[in-house]
Amino acid sequence: MDASYLTSPEEALEHFKVDEQQGLSEQQVQSAIERYGRNALPEDPPTPLWRLVLEQFKDQLVIILLGSAAISFVLALFEDGEGWTAFVDPAVVSTIDSDYVRTALTRDQILTILVLNAVVGVSQESSAEKAIAALQEYSANEAKVVRNGALKRMKADDLVPGDIISVAVGDRIPADCRILSIQSNSFRVDQAILTGESESVGKDARALKDSRAVKQDQVNMLFSGTTVVTGHATALVVLTGASTAIGDIHESITSQISEPTPLKQKLNDFGDMLAKVITVICILVWLINIQHFNDPSHGSWAKGAIYYLKIAVSLGVAAIPEGLAVVITTCLALGTRKMAAKNAVVRSLPSVETLGSCSVICSDKTGTLTTNQMSVNKLVYLNESGTDLEEIDVQGTTFSPEGDVLSGGKHMNDLAASSSTVLKMTEIAALCNESQLSFDPRSGTYSNVGEPTEGALRVLVEKIGTPEPAMNQAARELPIHERLHRTSKYFEEKNALLATYEFSRDRKSMSVLVGNGPQKRLLVKGAPESILERCTHVLLGSNGKRASLNGKLASLISEEVVEYGKRGLRVIALASVEDVGSNPLLSSAKTTEDYGRLETKMTLIGLVGMLDPPRPEVAESIRKCREAGIRVVVITGDNQSTAETICRQIGVFGNREDLRGKSYTGREFDALSDSEKLGAAQTALLFSRTEPTHKSQLVDLLQSSGEVVAMTGDGVNDAPALKKSDIGVAMGSGTDVAKLAADMVLADDNFATIESAVEEGRSIYNNTQQFIRYLISSNIGEVVSIFLTAAAGMPEALIPVQLLWVNLVTDGLPATALSFNPPDHDVMRRPPRGRDEALVSGWLFFRYMVIGIYVGGATVFGYAWWFMFNSEGPQITFWQLSHFHRCSSRFPEIGCEMFSNDSAKAASTISLSILVVIEMLNAMNALSSSESLLTLPLWDNMILVYAITLSMVLHFALLYTPVLQTLFSIVPLNWNEWQAVLLISIPVIFIDEILKFFERKIYLPKPLEIRAKRE
């Protein structure tokens, strides 16, 4: 029965053929079980571990690495004299040549990387299943059910539509139910996990007429998983299991298809491009060397073909940034540590970068943009002449009982002693109140136990103090947490609480009967319009002169209530009946109608204005988001006027901005056509009075427009949208379902933390680009070096074991250190990256190629320089160097020994040293993609300084340690040779500074252009 809120209790009972007193019979129950099934959320079998592991190997870069490992295994088979021993770990092989070390170590490195990536991936893939499992926590375990005329306790799983249940304070609702009758004066339910409403909802049994009523307005319905706060009621089960509101959320989570994050998609695209480039390079190098297959040094054409095939494949493998996956994981992990220090706990590593690319942040209002701690900031009463209102300002925005009270801009320490009107207001706030404040010594924070509005009034009482200045002075000398209820207890001791008349929707007020000796008074608080119409008198001025409440005075107060409402304040009126002891109703009042008759001929004391205040840091964060080109969209279950006021206060809207087309209620949004909804999603900044489905709908619309969407939430109702968005951000105080569905959890529930995380995400993306640039340009340099020597017919300038040392050790340290790069100074003044923007754009690829070509050319030039121009070298011609394979026949007078003895090792050492030094300088260039080393100096990343120093120490150890000289086929360099190395290497800094200049002038958008584009 889907629309039971439109039917009367009698019609709902008739639909299920059940009697409220008798309940279902056993036969009816069996029939219902067969028709509707058990009252439980369906459980899907968990994804097998083998499938999760297999999924991790579908990544493009992983496929390339797998192919590289396979090639390395195959090449190992062609090592002379090795056979299948080539697959044995190098540590157990006594005789190792450099090619073998190259292939064996490369295999081991690649396979280790793949295993690590798979472990990380599998651990993250299970988050959705955990979120689904956590939903079970919100299912009631037991229920009180009427069956066969008897009330019994039974498992909630056994409930069926048509069952009659009884619920009371503290009970969790076991299924979606239609209220039949309420047996208490009031009945309220906490629906926060489902609707996001910060206050409990009053319920009644009357049928609704609005067929489009959202769940917040379905006041005759009880929803599965919500909790009864006050009262006792009887209800009819109408929906169970997957058909309930919480079942809809379960379905939304299970139906989500995880899309790859922007970074993952870009890495896949980059992998595709890399695979194509590597394939072309391998084929090209093999083909251009066909003429050398028959060179005498190979022995035969077939062996020559295999030799150049190995060179081609080695060249292709050299182009692969084997350490890229590990460095990216390291960078993201470092990002999570930085963000954890800022109260953002990251559950999924890729989400760190994704947040940096987000273009829209969809934020909840309550608790994220606001403190979720109602606080009184205005006290109002009529002045002595009755011509205007006196307004008292109250400072403080949390449940902490501290804050100044200002009257006319002056601090008032003992206002209750100097103003009898304020004293009466304080007394009502203290006694007509069922909330309690609590203090957590571990976190040093204050919280409220009870209704938020009553908590705000309790804090107000403690701020104003007692009418005794000496007691107030003594209290001010105590620590704040030791005077939590000091003033409240003062009033409680002076006035005995005789009765409480609970709040009811019809009279919109609550009251307490207090006595002090023979005198009995009724203290009342409630909605201003309801209180005003039952008041006959009013207090004037701070001394509380009692006067008749005429139309002029009532109009003055009503206008102030309307004005406060426009400013987002919730207004509560305070009133009293001074001599109620003679009223005969006191002894017989049982119903809300009786309470209403007691609350008549009242005297209005004054008004209290309160609100859930914006967090003080939010306005600045939203300004920064706007500068960064990020649109902040507020989505809330609260009413439209309150939400609009808060949005004006925090800068989402201007103070006088026309909100037509920028602010919609959930109902207004539903009434739009599909094209209008898309337009609203692209331009509106506020959606109020929304339901969970609206959030998911907005995420779909925004993503279809190419936006990268971050969504915040804290309730079970938010889980589908959190899962669907590009990055879900849950609140630390939220439900486990929301946290498990999210990618990130804000420990402090603060929007400003999101803005900080966006900056960190952008910095991580920039750093990712920088170390990709560093690794790829280095690898391109190695490829160019191998390609040039092969194309020119020269000897190998760098042998495989040397390249492996550079890739694994020398490059690895600075690449990892680049993860610690500081953010660029203008990182939050750039527009968000487009969803389809390539990780390596055409300009970046051009930069990679320029630097890579210089690196490769420099290493080959250094090798040739030693043979041709070094005063201590053989000083042969380039023709002789490029025809070394035929040295015995073309230039026998010189001989071939120089191409295999220490001369060749010296030339190769020059090339290796040039490669290492250039890559250290290149790491310095990679501090920023656009900022010069003059504005972002090297010492801004001291980790990089240490990494470069350690890499150079390791290189010197390689050059000047005899054992390593033998293993890596190198010799020590003298000072003249080091001068040549430095002269050939240093130009890379000036080349990159020129490229950075062009990037700043041509490719980077200016901040003013960003603002104009977004506005």
Residue 624 lies in a domain: yes
pLDDT the model gives residue 557: 95
Same domain for 405 and 355: no
In the prediction, which pLDDT does 110 show?
53
- Can you tell me the distance from the alpha carbon of 369 to that of 80, in angstroms, rounded to the nearest whole number? 70
Q: Is 765 found in the same domain as 713? A: no
pTM over 0.85? The answer is no
- Pick from 211-220, 457-466, 890-899: least confident: 890-899
Comparing 512-516, 869-873, 944-948, the range with the smallest average pLDDT is 869-873
Q: Please report which confidence band the pLDDT of residue 1010 belongs to, taking 50, 70 and 90 as the band edges.
A: very low
Q: Are residues 634 and 597 located together in one domain of the fold?
A: no
In a domain, 547, yes or no: yes
* Strands 360-363 and 709-713, sheet pairing: parallel
The percentage of residues in the chain with a pLDDT greater than 90, rounded to a whole number, is 29
CB-CB contact of 872 with 854 (8 Å):
no
Are residue 365 and residue 392 in the same domain, yes or no? no
Q: Point out the least confidently predicted range of 78-82, 410-414, 484-488, 665-669.
A: 78-82
726 and 843 housed in the same domain: no
Same domain, 402 and 325: no
Residue 344: predicted pLDDT: 80
Instruction: Please indicate whether residue 324 or residue 205 has the higher confidence score (pLDDT).
Output: 205
Long-range contacts: 73-78, Cβ < 8 Å, 24+?
73/103, 73/107, 75/103, 75/310, 75/313, 75/314, 76/100, 76/103, 76/104, 76/107, 78/306, 78/310
Distance of alpha carbon 1015 from alpha carbon 1009, whole angstroms: 10
Do 173 and 194 reside in the same domain of the chain?
Answer: yes
* Structural domain ending residue among the three candidates 562, 595, 611: 611
- Does the pLDDT at position 266 exceed 80? no
Mean pLDDT highest for which of 663-672, 749-758, 886-895? 663-672
**When comparing pLDDT for 954 and 338, which is higher?**
954
> In whole angstroms, how far apart are CA 500 and each of 433, 453, 595, 603?
10, 17, 10, 19
Question: Which residues, in sequence order, are CB contacts of 359 under 8 Å at separation 6+?
Answer: 629, 630, 631, 707, 708, 709, 832
pLDDT surpasses 50 at 904: yes
Residue-wise pLDDT for 636-645, tens only, equals 877 788 888 8
Q: Which of 6-20, 243-257, 258-272, 820-834 has the lowest mean pLDDT?
A: 258-272
> Do the Cβ atoms of 67 and 276 come closer than 8 Å?
no
Specify the residue for token string 């008549």: 600
**DSSP class of 188:** E
- Look at 32 and 42; give whichever has higher pLDDT: 32
User: Residue 84 above 50 pLDDT?
Assistant: no
DSSP string over 249-265: HHHHHHT--PPPPHHHH
Give the pLDDT band of residue 214 (cuts 50, 70, 90).
Answer: confident
The confidence score (pLDDT) of residue 805 equals: 77
Nearest by Cα to 129 from 816, 741, 1004:
741
By DSSP bridging, strand 709-713 and strand 727-731 are: parallel
What is residue 667's DSSP assignment?
H
Confidence category of residue 556, pLDDT binned at 50, 70, 90: very high
Q: Judge whether residue 1004 has pLDDT over 50.
A: yes
Give backbone dihedrals phi and psi of 834, rounded to 5 degrees, phi first. -70, 150
Predicted confidence at residue 160, as pLDDT, reads: 94
Q: What pLDDT is recorded for position 508? A: 87
Q: Do 567 and 635 share a structural domain?
A: no
Angle at 860 between CA 858 and CA 865, to 5 degrees: 90
Domain assignment present for 50: no
List, in order, residues 6 or more apart from 698 with CB less than 8 Å away: 362, 633, 635, 681, 687, 721
- Residue 257: pLDDT band by 50, 70, 90 thresholds? low
pLDDT value, residue 652: 93
The confidence score (pLDDT) of residue 82 equals 44
For the cut 80, the answer to whether the pLDDT of residue 674 exceeds it is: yes
Assign residue 160 the CATH number of its domain: 2.70.150.10
User: What is the per-residue pLDDT for 97?
Assistant: 41
The pLDDT of residue 548: 94
* 295 catalytic per annotation: no
Residue 714 pLDDT grade (very low, low, confident, very high; cuts 50, 70, 90): confident
The one catalytic residue among 158, 163, 364, 638: 364
Nearest in space to 1005 (alpha carbons), one of 837, 763, 829:
829
Among residues 373, 526, 538, the alpha carbon closest in space to that of 452 is found at: 373
Q: The domain spanning residue 966 has which CATH number?
A: 1.20.1110.10
Mean predicted confidence (pLDDT) in 234-248: 89
Task: Give me the pLDDT at residue 426, please.
Answer: 96
What was the pLDDT predicted at 18? 93
pLDDT surpasses 60 at 83? no
The pLDDT value given to residue 898 = 66
Same domain for 602 and 629, yes or no, is no
Q: What is the mean pLDDT of residues 645-655?
A: 90
pLDDT digits (tens, 9 = 90+) for 688-707: 888 778 888 999 999 998 89
Average pLDDT of 31-42?
87
Is residue 512 over pLDDT 90?
yes
Judged against a pLDDT cut of 70, whether residue 100 lies above it is answered with no
Asked if the structure places residue 86 within a domain, the reply is no
Please say which residue of 546, 576, 611 terminates a domain: 611
User: Residue 1014 pLDDT > 60, yes or no?
Assistant: no
Asked if 601 and 708 sit in the same domain, the reply is no
Confidence band for 848, pLDDT divided at 50, 70 and 90: confident
- What's the pLDDT at 138? 46
What pLDDT sits at residue 552? Answer: 93
The mean of the pLDDT values for the chain is 81
Residues 163-183 have a mean pLDDT of 91
- Domain end position, chosen among 230, 254, 278: 254
- Give the SS3 label for residue 137: helix
pLDDT surpassing 90 at residue 914: yes
The answer to whether 424 and 576 have CB atoms below 8 angstroms apart is: yes
Residues 969 and 1003 in one domain: yes
Same domain, 939 and 805: yes
Least confident of 23-27, 402-406, 579-583: 579-583
Residue 456 lies in a domain: yes
- 663 forms bridges with which residues in the sheet? 686
Higher pLDDT, 872 or 420: 420
| pLDDT recorded at residue 679 | 93
Please state the domain count of the chain.
4
Q: Is residue 520 part of a domain?
A: yes
Where is pLDDT greater, at 798 or 389? 389
Read off the pLDDT of residues 371-384 as tens digits, 9 standing for 90 and up. 778 899 999 999 99
pLDDT band at 101 (very low <50, low <70, confident <90, very high): very low
- Cα 216 to Cα 104, 174, 185, 665, 685: the distances in Å are 65, 18, 21, 13, 22
Q: Match 């039952």 to its residue by tokens.
A: 534
Q: Is the pLDDT confidence value at 906 over 70?
A: yes
953-963 per-position pLDDT tens digit: 998 998 888 88
Q: What is the mean pLDDT of residues 296-308?
A: 71
Residue 45: per-residue pLDDT: 63
Whether 468 maps to a domain, the answer reads: yes
Amino acid letter at 601? K
In a domain, 127, yes or no: no
Residue 261: the pLDDT is 62
At residue 546, φ and ψ (nearest 5 deg) are -85, 130
Min mean pLDDT across 42-46, 573-577, 848-852 is at: 42-46
Q: Which positions ≥6 away from 622 have C-beta within 8 Å?
A: 632, 650, 651, 652, 751, 755
Give, in order, the Cα–Cα distances in Å from 892 to each of 193, 885, 904: 89, 12, 18
Task: State the angle between helix axes of 751-792 and 301-318 in degrees (0 to 180), rounded to the nearest 10.
Answer: 160
The alpha carbon torsion through 264, 270, 276, 281 (nearest 10 deg) reads -130
Residue 881 has pLDDT above 80, yes or no: no
Contacts of 949 (CB under 8 A, 6+ apart): none
Host domain of residue 216: 4-43+134-254
Mean pLDDT of 481-495: 89
